[in-house]
Structure 1
Amino acid sequence: MSWLRALKATARSGLTVERRRLEPLVAARAALGLALVVGATLALFGPGAAISSAFGAFQAAIATFQRSWRPRPTLALASGASLAVSTFLGYVTGAGSHPALFLALLAVWTFLSGLAWAAGPTVGIIASSNVAMMLVTVTLPTSVAEAAGHAAMIAVGGLVQAALVVLLPVRRWGAQRDALADALAAEADYARRLRHDPTAAFDPVPLMTARSAAAVTPRQARRRPAELHGARGLAERIRPVLASLADPAVGASAEGPARDQVRELLAAAASVQDAAAHAIRHGEPVDLPPAAVAALRTPDTGALLGGAPRRAAVRLAALLDDVVETADPRTETRTEPGTEPGIGPGTEPGTGSRTESGTRSRTESTAQARARPTLLRLTPVVLARMRAELRPDSPVLRHAVRVTAVTATGYVLGSALPLGHGYWAPMASVMVMRPDFSQTYSRSVARFGGTLVGVALATAVVEVADPGVYASAALAVACAFGMYLLMRTGYAASQVCVSAYVVFLLGMGGSAWTQTVFERVVLTLVGGVLAMLAYAVYPAWETPRLRGRLADWLVTDGRYAASVVAHYADPAGPVCADVREALLATRATRIAWQEALDRATHEPVRHRGLSRAAADDAEHALAQFGRVAMLMEAHLPERGAPPVPAAATLAEALRRSTERGGKAVRERRAPEWDELRETVAACAPLLEDPLLRKGAGLLLDALDDLSESLTPNPAPQPHP
């Protein structure tokens, strides 16, 4: 993509306003916290302290809106405390009397905030915001004692926001409920698509998001609602069963009565999972559609389906029964599964006991909870991640260097220009800069556009109404409410409110509006231009790293397939820890590949050996490879089943060949699979399980497709 097209695309993205579900109650609670803090400090200590406390409460509320699974009060307290420390240290180093010393602190603080992105976007955003707010708040005190008072007021602002989250809860566990419900709804959509496309792809992001949401601190584990226990693990196990039931390669034939029965079962599974998702999202009892229950209970399943499809149908019914039982808030987890009639048969035909999948799924899913460390225990982990990024090829290190250079340059330039309020240039830079190109450029455009509109609107209000101190405070709170409400609709929309908020807030402290309009617009433009120039001069392009991302996905896909095949040689039942870990690893690398590909789409650089068409074909091939491994996982032999010794040889060949293939991809060569082909040919007569034998061939076909996608097209030969 050329630079012109890249700039157009990022500008369009930055100015886009998306339609998102608004949360007015949460926004009103955040604005109430800001109003309480500003009103109390304004009445008790005057405008200066009110501005400091307002910044603390404003920033703490923003922290509670971040996409984090930690308790919201914890985020508010951490944000308020860190901003208070930043402000006090900034003043002590001499923001006014010793600008060189303050500039050194600013550079160190900004560099650390850039490295903080290694710990995730929530930590990175809070750290960057602290630098931006510090640039303003250090200009307010006039003595060390007053600086300590301002820092205390900032911390109080965070404390008030945390207290309001506890005292005025809005939809407790709402984010976790939405994540789990989204995972079940995604599987319901997958089941419906399988009815028409038996090899449809599945996006693992909802399941991985639900997995992240399921990690809780010890205190959260004691308070988590019962319906949030176990359903995610069941959803994880349903997905391969759905795929194996639908795929003609291992399931029912492509046409005929058996296929019609499979379509009916898939539709019923989708309806049941949608009902469970709705119940979890709203904390209501599960309302099952009668038609879906009837379809899962029909006795025709055993007559029309046989072999692997029949086992998949029975296992699906048992798992769905467990999902409904787990998702219903009225139901306590039972130690004896099957004590009440479920939605499906829950037994293997001809036996009187529930399937192993149904029995284990609930007991294993509900007995264990993923642990999330507390903030104190997380600190050494974050520091270790930051140290790990201190290498020349790290995008996070490049971001830290860029943002440090730009912030220092912007501060010096803003101080030298005869405009006043010189901190607005570095503040704009640090707020728009992100580790990737598209976000940095789109946010720069959005911030300038939002600033222009917000300042113009605030200026018009000030000219017409001439508000006093308390009226300015009320207008600032109103603008903050608008920012909280529109935060997730787009950066441009929120910046309109933020710009007006800052104008009214500084006006409350005595700054005339004429001192903020022109300077803020010009210096915001300067900060945005510096950020964009810095990325162009010292970039961290994702495009050259695409082959490495693809190689990582290939290697983890190979390990997953090898782990699955190895359990045919040593049957351990459908629940295997090593298979689970390998599956999570391949999902993580797949998501990393997809995110990198999305970022690379808008970069103004050449593909460097991996065109978009080749990337799409390679992605499809590896997705098919993973799907075949998932089908084989869905039919892992039960514990005690006869082992298949040749499967161990095949598993080792898969692991070894994909690791060599990953190295070839990194070296810009098309991987070769001769050894694996020979192993498959030699083992095929010894693989007694038809699914295993057919799966080995399908895995090899997918790898051949990968090599073909990465092989450069030969130049056309001229006609004689």
Structure 2
Amino acid sequence: MTWLRALKETTRSGFTLERQRLEPLVALRAAAGLAIVVGAALALFGPAVAVSSAFGAHQAAIATFQRSWRPRPLLALASGGSLAVSTFLGYLVAGRLPLFTALLFVWTFAAGLAWALGPTVGIIAASNVAIMLVTITLPSSIATAAGHAAMIAVGGLVQAALIVVFPVRRWGAQRDALADALAAEADYARRLRQDPTASFDPEPLMLARSAAALSPRQARRRPAELHGARGVAERIRPVLASLADPAVGVPADGPERDRCRELLGAAGTVLDAAAHAIRHGEPVRIDRRIMRTLKSPDTLRILSGPPRRAVIRLVALLDDVVEEAEGEGTGEGSHRDRPPLRELLPGAVATIRGEFRRGRPVLRHAERVSVVVCAGYILGTALPLGHGYWVPMTAVMVMRPDFSQTYARSVARFGGTLIGVGVATGIVQAAHPGTYLSCALAVLCAFGMYLVTRTGYVAAQVFTAAYVVFLLGMGGEDTGQTVPERVLLTLFGGVLAMVAYAVYPAWETPRLRHRLADWLLADGRYAACVVDHYAVPAVTAKQDIRQALLGARDARIAWQDALALAIHEPVRNRGLTRVQAEAAEHALAHFGRSAMLMEAHLPEHGAPMVPAAAALSEALRRDTERAAKAVRERRPLQWDRVKAALAEWQAQDHAVLESGTALLGEALDELADALDDGRRRRNDGGGH
């Protein structure tokens, strides 16, 4: 993609508004917490302290809107406390430019590294730096700075207390994650009616699994309908695929296929009903005709062999889903223990330490953002416009580890600031609102920001910019600045962020082959684990298969995320064209699906062993490791060991396994052809 097209795409993305379900009660609760804190601080301590406390309460509320399965009160407390520490330390050296610049560099560098721990931590850390640049200008002594920091922490405490006292849609995030997983299964069942080999995106199941990680206290308080439906949904997917696929399920045509389509449609209806019930906390409502279709005796007369066994298992699993959605299941093994934060600290330190390697995106982001923020602060201070913190504040809030978000947020922040600052400053200069009216307008803008925060960055930024103007006007600050000055400083910050990424980028495109190799390696391990279970059927092997499946899903999602970022980058990858990437993705999805079909028919403990399976499992492990290395080094793929092991399979009499291994072989050949075709085109001078 050229730079011009990339800029057009990111600009369009920055100004895009999404249709999202608004949560007015949650927004009202957050705005009420802000009003309580600001009102109390204004009455007791005056406007300056009220402004500090408002920033603390505002930031704590924003933290609770981030995607996290941690309890929302904990996020509010962590955000308010960390901002209080940032403000106090910043004020201690704010009067000495060299010393404050050094502190700002260290603090921003740490905030940049925080992205390694996830977007929620990264956003909170970046916001702390941005707000600190404003709040350090408010106190006049160390004692008052400590008081301001304490009030900021109180703001976080108030928001946390309101979440506890006035919960809105309790367990809503977990309900949505589980309902989305069931709805994705329902959509998959319906697509299989038309396309028996349709692909399935595992991300909803992975999100539901993340949401199921609970502390012991949460596990005791969790609603019954959230107990076991996720585990059942995980087991339904391979059954649906094995029933629909002509290779191991019903034939492509005939009465068996017609009955299969009816069963898949009925299964989708049941899963949708369970998803709706879990999302809204209501009873499951299913038409009796749907259940009669699933449990019709005619089905067992029409189908035989593996398809018949798949239908019996599917009906049992759907009964379990309905039972769990009604809140009557046992829920055994349906959640994972969530370790407390203190136990996560060593892992977090290890994760950040792992980023200190050349070329790592998060490390480059930390280096880039810390230099830009410090340069922006010095530039803003030197400019004769006053209140130069708008420059570094803009830069730290828009910069992200990837190109597309950095550029999209830069243009969105400029557009939102232009509107928000223009309207708010016009109101201030025309109406000259007093302290209390400015406070009310600031709270109203905060409510608007909380309400639309999920619809798009540009909409939220309109209200955020107006909020800052009214809040600083309430404290008697920033009233001399005009709209052009504020917009110009914001533009400087956005341009600095965009130029910095162009000069010191962290492109995802050159790393696509490594992501593809990781996915191939993970799929190979998963397939080998499944085949191992045929060689020696054992109960304990199923846990190994589960872990290998999760690893394959993680690798697939990492590839898809990287590809989505690379599409918008203004850089060409000579090592992997877009056509190659699409073909390779299809082949690896086929590879993983083949292993999943074999998993759907795993033999029970004590079943006869399949001697050829052991050789195939070892061949899969060794050849996929060699192939992954070849993908990284742009060499042709070879599957000598796998093909030899498959040749030995001809003597085995195991129809399901033979069909599954045939699909594995086809997928590996498809992957080799996809990558080798691109290599031949480059050798012939075709290139990308």
Shorter-chain TM-score: what band?
over 0.9
Deviation at 1:523, TM superposition (A): 1.1
After TM superposition, the structure 1 = structure 2 runs for residues 283-362 of structure 1, keeping only pairs within 5 Å, are 283-329=281-327, 331=328, 333=330
Q: What CA distance in whole angstroms lies between the structure 1 residues aligned with 2:221 and 2:112?
A: 35
Q: 2:461 aligns with which of 495, 504, 513?
A: 495
Once residues 113 and 379 of structure 1 are traced to their aligned partners in structure 2, the CA distance between those partners, rounded to angstroms, is 16
Shift of 1:574: 10
Q: Which amino acid aligns with 1:583?
A: L
Supply the distance in 2 between the matched residues of 1:211 and 1:519 (Cα, whole angstroms): 48
- Deviation per CA, 1:566-592: give whole Å up to 9, x if none: 100111259800000000000000000
Q: What's the CA shift string for 1:251-273, capped at 9, x where partnerless?
A: 11111111111111111111111
* Shift in Å, 1:376: 2.2
Instruction: Look up the equivalent residue of 2:632 and give its one-letter code.
Output: R
Query: Does structure 2 retain, via aligned residues, the 8 Å contact 1:644–1:688?
Result: no
What are the within-5 Å matches in structure 2 for residues 27-426 of structure 1?
Answer: 27-92=27-92, 94-96=93-95, 98-329=96-327, 331=328, 333=330, 366-367=332-333, 369-426=335-392
- Kindly indicate whether the alpha-carbon contact (under 8 Å) linking 1:557 and 1:586 is maintained by their aligned counterparts in 2: yes
**Contact 1:458/1:500, CA 8 A, preserved across alignment:** yes
| Structure 1 residue matching 2:454: 3-state secondary structure | helix
Q: Do the aligned residues in 1 keep the contact of 2:513 with 2:631 (CA within 8 Å)?
A: yes
CA contact (8 A) 1:421 1:519 kept: no
Q: Which residue of 1 aligns with 2:417?
A: 451
- What is the match of residue 348 of structure 1? none
Counterpart of 2:566 in structure 1 is: 600
The aligned counterpart of 1:438 is 404
Aligned to 2:550: 584
Q: Which residue of 2 aligns with 1:19?
A: 19
- 1:693 and 1:298 mapped to 2: Cα distance? 30
Alpha carbons of 1:386 and 1:516: their partners in 2 closer, same or farther (altered >3 Å)? Answer: farther
Give me the whole-angstrom Cα distance separating, in 1, the residues matched to 2:471 and 2:432.
14
3-state SS of the aligned residue for 1:287?
Answer: coil
Contact 1:574 1:635 in 2 (8 A): no
- Conserved 8 A contact 1:573-1:636: no
Q: Residue 528 of structure 1 aligns to which amino acid in structure 2?
A: G
1:64 maps to a residue whose letter is T
Query: CA 1:626–1:382 in structure 2 vs 1: closer, same or farther (change >3 Å)?
Result: same
What's the CA shift string for 1:309-367, capped at 9, x where partnerless?
Answer: 001000001111111111103x253xxxxxxxxxxxxxxxxxxxxxxxxxxxxxxx624
**TM-score when normalising by structure 2:** 0.98
Task: Please point out which of 438, 442, 446 is paired with 1:472.
Answer: 438
What amino acid is the match of 1:46? G
Q: Which residue of the other structure, out of 652, 660, 664, is the alignment partner of 1:699?
A: 664
Opposite residue 40 of structure 1, the aligned amino acid is A
Question: Mean alpha-carbon deviation: is it higher for 586-595 or for 517-526?
Answer: 517-526
Does 177-186 or 520-529 show the bigger shift?
520-529
**Aligned residue type for 1:175:** A
For the Cα contact (< 8 Å) 1:69–1:176, is it kept in 2?
Answer: yes
1:644 aligns with 2:644: no
Is the partner of 2:130 in helix, strand or coil?
helix
Normalising by structure 1, report the TM-score: 0.93
Q: Against the structure 1 CA distance between its residues 298 and 458, is the aligned structure 2 distance closer, same or farther, given a 3 Å change threshold?
A: same
Which deviations, in whole Å up to 9, do the C-alpha atoms of 1:199-227 show, x marking residues without a partner? Answer: 00101010000001000122211111111
The answer for the alignment partner of 1:505 in structure 2 is 471
Q: 1:626 to 1:306 in 2, by over 3 A?
A: same
Matches within 5 A, 1:555-704: 555-572=521-538, 576-685=542-651, 687-704=652-669
Distance in 1, Cα, partners of 2:5 & 2:645? 48
Give the counterpart letter for 2:63 in structure 1. Answer: A
What are the ranges of 5 or more consecutive residues in structure 1 without an aligned counterpart? 334-364
> In 2, distance between residues paired with 1:185 and 1:159?
37
Q: State how far apart, in whole Å, the 2-side matches of 1:177 and 1:448 are.
A: 36
Q: C-alpha displacement at 1:518, in angstroms?
A: 2.8
Percent identity between matched residues is 70
Q: SS of 1:43's equivalent?
A: helix
Asked if 2 retains the 8 angstrom alpha-carbon contact of 1:543 and 1:608, the reply is no
Distance (Å, rounded) in 2 between the aligned partners of 1:678 and 1:161: 64
CA distance in 2, matches of 1:416, 1:716: 57
Distance in 2 separating the partners of 1:161 and 1:107: 30
Instruction: Name the CA distance, whole Å, in 1 between partners of 2:397 and 2:302.
Output: 61
Q: Alignment length, in residue pairs?
A: 683
Shift of 1:670: 2.3
Compute the displacement of 1:292 (Å). Answer: 1.3
What value does the CA root-mean-square deviation take over the aligned residues?
Answer: 1.4
Give me the whole-angstrom Cα distance separating, in 1, the residues matched to 2:111 and 2:501. 17
In the aligned structure 2, how far is the partner of 1:91 from the partner of 1:460? 31
After TM superposition, give the deviation of residue 562 of structure 1 in Å: 0.6
CA distance in 2, matches of 1:463, 1:200: 60
2-side partners of 1:195 and 1:283: how far apart?
A: 30
Q: Secondary structure at the match of 2:332?
A: helix
Q: Using the alignment, how far apart are the partners of 1:618 and 1:322 within structure 2?
A: 37
By how many angstroms is 1:456 displaced? 1.0
Q: Which runs of 5+ in 2 are unaligned?
A: none
The CA distance in 2 between the partners of 1:617 and 1:445, in whole Å, is 34
After superposition, give the CA deviation of every residue in 1:633-686 in whole Å (9 maximum; x if it has no partner).
00000111111111011111011111110000000112111222122112331x
